[in-house]
Amino acid sequence: MLKPNRNLKATLQRSPPTGSADEPLLFVEIPFDAMSARVTILPPTSKDKKFVTVDDLRHALEKRNVVYGIDQNLLMEISAKITQQAADKNLDDMIEADLAHGTRPHPGQDAQVEYFFEKDHSSHKVDLTEDEEGRVDYKAGRKINNVKKGDLLIRVTPAVLGKPGRTITGRDVPPDPPKDIVLSFGKGVLPGVDNPNEFYADEDGHVVLKDGRVTVQPVYEVRGDVDMTVGNIDFFGTVMVHGDVKDGFKINAGGDLIVRGVVEGADLQVEGNLTVSGGVTGNDRAHIRCKGNALIKYIQNATVEVTGNLGVKQFILHSKVTCDHTITVAGSKGMIVGGPVIARRELTAGAIGNKLATPTEIIVGEQVDLRVEILNADEEIREITNKIEKIRKSLVHFKDVNARSNEQLSDEKKELQTWMARALVKLTFDAKVVSQKKNELEIKQAVFLKEKPIPRVNCTYKIYPGVKVMINRAYIAFQDEQKYCSLIEMEGEVRFTTLKTKTKVQTV
């Protein structure tokens, strides 16, 4: 664009001239980055002096090496203006224009990483959030980046190079290099089959991002105790605790759980196997559920449910223990006191009961889960039967009152009578359904008792008075001490038989 400018002194000081030494007429101004060329043409001081020509302009551009980005339309406009100015002998106006423009480099795109887990995860931060009522669970655990095999972990968008620019002198200007992101992937992480820039978990576990390296670790380790500094733990895989599990805390392990210390009044849910090297001091609050096998040093004042086999190294004291397979309390000093202690197949202990005749209940042979369901069905049938009896009495009462008075019942009493009649029908139906369910459970239990090996209680040292043993619902209460014996059920009675057992328990 042409711009008239009369501030000639400022223009002359700003740019080097092209012209005679005593009368500069043409200036080409190029900044340091050489991305533009500004042309300034001055009229002569008198009409008899030489005016700048188009050839002078082209020569000046060539001299300054302006070879790229020249606006040809603007050049034609300036050329016409130069010719017209010389023809008119115009001494008043100068010509000023940005005649050439370079091309700046086009920036590239930095590499991008999309994380599908919590990247800014602090292993020392416990998640303290308020519920809808503003309460805070101060035992809430650390946020663990749980993942399942096949879960998408990271998607990387590679860096894109920029395009180079060019100065008006024809020099290429490279773009700034885009920022790349350096990540490395360790165990448990694989690139995607369809997209190598996507990375997936190759096993269950928790994601760890440390020093730019991403791994999936199948074991979640706690170096100390599970307490307020750690909080509750909910992890897909195996959990290893090198210290104790303190009162009131919860661990939910999708794999195995290994506790090197003591379990106090805690809540443990284990999908795999359980090992407690320090024992369980439950404080009447511990509740442990294990779907695999369990190895525990001792159990005291706790509730323990094991689907597989249970091995105890020292003793079971005043605890409710149920096991779908075998319970072994090893050695002649392995002791069971209190209970009930229930094993589906076999129970072995050194001493059962104690010299104080502490009531101790041993149950073997029952299919534990079915027994519980049957007991629950019995309780439900009793409750329904009581409700049915109350409603029937009320309906009989309404009928007797109506017969004695020879008067119609009020609308309110009629409505109540109708509601009771409908409730009676529903409760009768419910009782039938629950009774049928109970019958099915008892049939399953009978099949189990018929098909499974003979349930057995083995005592490798002594059974004390105060002990009650039930095998397949056959029952015996001990009044005297018995040593080195096995108990089985035969013809509806508990019988003594030769002791034959292996009492070795793995080291915990």
Higher pLDDT, residue 326 or 371: 326
Provide long-range contacts, Cβ within 8 A and 24+ apart, for 394-402.
394/420, 395/420, 395/421, 395/424
Could you read off the pLDDT of 143-188 as tens digits, one per residue? Answer: 788 888 999 999 999 999 999 999 999 999 999 999 988 888 889 9
Strand partners, 97: 39
Compute the C-alpha angle 262/268/271, nearest 5°.
120
What tokens were used for 343?
Answer: 């094993």
Spans of all domains in the chain: 8-101, 107-217, 369-451
| For range 259-277, the mean pLDDT | 96
Give the 3-state secondary structure of 6-32: CCHHHHHHHCCEEECCCCEEEEEECCC
Say if residue 2's pLDDT is above 70.
no
pLDDT band at 21; cut points 50, 70, 90: very low
**Band of the pLDDT at 375, cuts 50, 70, 90?**
confident
366 pLDDT more than 60: yes
Q: Which amino acid is at 243?
A: G
Q: In this predicted structure, what is the pLDDT of residue 23?
A: 52
pLDDT of residue 342: 93
Give 454-475 pLDDT, tens digit per residue: 889 999 999 999 999 999 878 9
Query: pLDDT grade, residue 236 (50/70/90)?
Result: confident
Residue 287 pLDDT:
97
Give the pLDDT mean for 53-78: 92
Contact between residue 100 and residue 68 where contact means Cβ atoms under 8 Å apart: yes
Q: What is the pTM assigned to this prediction?
A: 0.62
- Classify burial at 394, counting beta carbons within 10 Å of its beta carbon; exposed 0-12, middle 13-18, buried 19 or more: middle
| For residue 20, pLDDT beyond 60 | no
Average pLDDT taken over every residue of the chain? 86
Unique residue bearing structure tokens 């998607």: 155
Residue at token pair 């407690």:
276
Q: Work out whether the CA dihedral 208, 209, 212, 215 comes out positive or negative.
A: positive
Residue 12's pLDDT is: 35
Please tell me the least confidently modeled range out of 95-104, 282-291, 357-366, 391-400.
391-400
Q: In this predicted structure, what is the pLDDT of residue 367?
A: 65
Q: Angle at which helices 368-405 and 411-451 pack, to 10 degrees? A: 160
